[in-house]
Amino acid sequence: MNMRYMTAEYRLAHWAQIIRKRNESGQSVSEFCKNSEIHEKTYYYWKKKLHDAECEQLAAEQQADTIQTKFTRPKFTEVKIRDNLSQKTNTEPVLQGNLSMEFSGVKIVADSSYPVGQLAYLLRELVKQC
């Protein structure tokens, strides 16, 4: 690994810790810098460097996600319950609040209006597919 890259990463991590410490202290930047014997211009210089590094990292992650989604299945798929099943379950209790669960990498989110019987059916079908 490149020594310059490692040094830059170390400095960014060090200044991220200092900036986090300032945020947690509740002090103004000028108070914190004075108490920590850090020049304010140096503090703002590194704050900007961290911001720029974060933006670059986010852009790289978004680009990687865009490339990956071109070759993968969609992450969310709506599943419709058959009409004859929904007619049978009208008298069943409904969930109170929201339910979110993940099974074998598949996430299910149901709101409070979703009948429990239909949710049970959906889970049985999901288990069959996995």
- Label residue 2 by pLDDT band (50, 70, 90): confident
| Helix (H) and strand (E) counts in the chain | 5, 2
Q: What percent of the chain has pLDDT over 90?
A: 28
Q: At what angle do helices 3-25 and 40-69 cross, to 10 degrees?
A: 110
Flag whether pLDDT at 127 surpasses 90.
no
pTM for this structure?
Answer: 0.47
Give the mean pLDDT of 29-47. 95
Residues 122, 79: Cα–Cα separation, whole Å:
8
CB 36 within 8 A of CB 15: no
- Label residue 25 by pLDDT band (50, 70, 90): very high
3-class DSSP state of 103:
strand
**Span 61-115, pLDDT tens digits:** 777 766 555 555 555 555 565 554 444 445 555 545 666 767 666 667 777 677 7
User: Would you state the pLDDT for residue 53?
Assistant: 86
**Span 51-61, pLDDT tens digits:** 888 888 888 87
User: Would you state the pLDDT for residue 10?
Assistant: 87
Residue 125 CB contacts under 8 Å (≥ 6 apart), including other chains: 79
Residue 15 CB contacts under 8 Å (≥ 6 apart), including other chains: 46, 47, 49, 50
Q: What percent of the chain has pLDDT over 70?
A: 58
